[in-house]
Amino acid sequence: MRSLGEVGFGCVGCEVIAPRILRRMPFLESIGLHHNDINDEGCAHLSELFAKHNCVLEVALYGNKIGPIGAQSIVDAFTARTKERLSGNSSIRGLEILDIGGNPIGNAGVRLIAKLITLEETLVEVHVDHVGFNEEGAHELLRAMEMRLNNGQPMRTIWAHGNDISDDFLTSLTNLCRNRHGNAAIDGGSSDEDDCDHDDRSHTQYQPKPDGVWDAQECETRALEATKRGDNTDAAARLKSNRIASHAFGTYKRYCKRHYENAKGAACFAAFVAYEKSTSRVKVASLGVGTKFVPPDVAGSAFVSSRDDVIRDSHAEILARRNFLRYLYAEMNDSVAGGKMASSGAAVQYNDDNNFSVLEMNDGWFRKRDDVEIHLYVSSAPCGSASLNLESSLNCFPHATRKGTNVSSAHNTIDDEKVPPGCVVLRGGVREAIGNPKQTLSCSDKIAIWCARGVQGSILTASFIKEPIVLSSVACSRKYDGDRLFEATYGRTCCSSPSLNGKNYENKATKHLCTQMASISIEFKERSVRARADVGESDESVSWCAYDTIARVHDGRTGLAISGRGKPPRASKYDLKMQFLKLLSSIFKDDTNSSIAKANGNGCSFVHGDDFTSVSLLKKRLQDSYAFARNAEETIASSPYAKFKETVLRGDGKSASVSFLEGDCVNVAWRDGMAG
Residues 227 and 86 in one domain: no
Residues 169 and 227 in one domain: no
Per the DSSP assignment, residues forming a β-bridge with 313 are 293
SS3 state of residue 508: helix
Residues 279 and 403 in one domain: yes
Residues 113 and 251 in one domain: no
What per-residue confidence (pLDDT) applies to 669? Answer: 41
Q: Give CA–CA dist 448/454, Å, rounded.
A: 10
Tell me which of 1-10, 182-191, 356-365 is least confident: 182-191
What per-residue confidence (pLDDT) applies to 482? Answer: 84
Q: Torsions phi, psi of 307, nearest 5?
A: -105, 145
Residues comprising the chain, all counted: 676
Note the Cα 666 to chain centre separation in Å.
27
Last residue in a domain, options 185, 217, 236: 185
Domain-embedded: residue 200 = no
Residues 153 and 267 in one domain: no
Give the H or E element holding residue 377.
strand 372-380
Domain-embedded: residue 392 = yes
The sign one gets for the Cα dihedral 633, 634, 638, 643 is: negative
SS3 state of residue 34: coil
Mean pLDDT of 313-338: 92
SS3 state of residue 405: coil
What per-residue confidence (pLDDT) applies to 446? Answer: 92
What per-residue confidence (pLDDT) applies to 588? Answer: 79
Mean pLDDT of 338-351: 46
Closest CA to 431 of 667, 180, 110: 667
Last residue in a domain, options 530, 564, 582: 582
Mean pLDDT of 601-622: 61
Angle at 432 between CA 304 and CA 669, to 5 degrees: 130
Average pLDDT, the chain: 77
For residues 503 and 254, the model is more confident at: 254
E strand intervals along 455-577:
473-478, 515-517, 523-524, 540-545, 552-555
Q: Torsions phi, psi of 130, nearest 5?
A: 55, 50
* Burial status of residue 231 (CB atoms within 10 A of its CB: 0-12, 13-18, 19 or more): exposed
Share of the chain above pLDDT 90, in %: 33
Domain count, the chain: 2
Residue 666 has pLDDT above 50, yes or no: no
Q: Give CA–CA dist 544/281, Å, rounded.
A: 20
Contact 313, 554 (CB under 8 A): no
Residue 123 sits in a domain of what CATH number? 3.80.10.10
User: What letter would DSSP give residue 506?
Assistant: T
Q: What is the pTM of this model?
A: 0.76
Top mean pLDDT of 214-223, 249-258, 277-286, 532-541 is at 277-286
Angle at 7 between CA 559 and CA 94, to 5 degrees: 75
Closest CA to 324 of 206, 498, 434, 471: 471
Residue 511 has pLDDT above 80, yes or no: no
What per-residue confidence (pLDDT) applies to 433? Answer: 82
Last residue in a domain, options 582, 608, 640: 582
Residues 158 and 234 in one domain: no
What per-residue confidence (pLDDT) applies to 520? Answer: 79
- 232, 238, 239, 241 alpha-carbon torsion, rounded to 10°: -170
Q: Give CA–CA dist 482/2, Å, rounded.
A: 30
Do the strands 423-425 and 365-368 form a parallel or antiparallel pair, or are they unpaired? unpaired
Top mean pLDDT of 42-46, 434-438, 523-527 is at 42-46
Domain-embedded: residue 620 = no
Residue 344 has pLDDT above 60, yes or no: no
- Helix 40-52 vs helix 10-24: crossing angle, to nearest 10: 10
What per-residue confidence (pLDDT) applies to 170? Answer: 84
Residue 110 has pLDDT above 90, yes or no: yes
What per-residue confidence (pLDDT) applies to 567? Answer: 81
Q: Give CA–CA dist 142/449, Å, rounded.
A: 47
Q: Give CA–CA dist 248/269, Å, rounded.
A: 9
* Cα–Cα distances in angstroms (integers) from residue 296 to residues 108, 312, 382, 385, 458, in the given order: 24, 9, 20, 20, 25
Residues 120 and 268 in one domain: no
Angle at 491 between CA 485 and CA 496, to 5 degrees: 150
Residues 181 and 217 in one domain: no
- 274, 279, 280, 282 alpha-carbon torsion, rounded to 10°: -40
| Residue span of the structural domain in which 572 resides | 206-582
Type of residue numbered 315: H
What per-residue confidence (pLDDT) applies to 250? Answer: 93
Residues 253 and 286 in one domain: yes
Domain-embedded: residue 382 = yes
Mean pLDDT of 241-255: 93
Domain-embedded: residue 655 = no
Residues 262 and 142 in one domain: no
Tell me which of 150-164, 356-370, 395-409 is least confident: 395-409
Note the Cα 533 to chain centre separation in Å.
15
Give the model confidence (pLDDT) of 392-446 as tens digits: 556 677 788 888 765 444 444 554 457 887 788 887 777 788 778 888 899 999 9
Tell me which of 430-439, 507-516, 663-672 is least confident: 663-672
What per-residue confidence (pLDDT) applies to 240? Answer: 92
What per-residue confidence (pLDDT) applies to 635? Answer: 54
Per the DSSP assignment, residues forming a β-bridge with 293 are 313
Domain-embedded: residue 623 = no
Residue 549 has pLDDT above 50, yes or no: yes
Residues 151 and 212 in one domain: no
Domain-embedded: residue 587 = no
Residues 237 and 138 in one domain: no
Domain-embedded: residue 641 = no
What per-residue confidence (pLDDT) applies to 9? Answer: 83
Closest CA to 286 of 331, 256, 322: 322
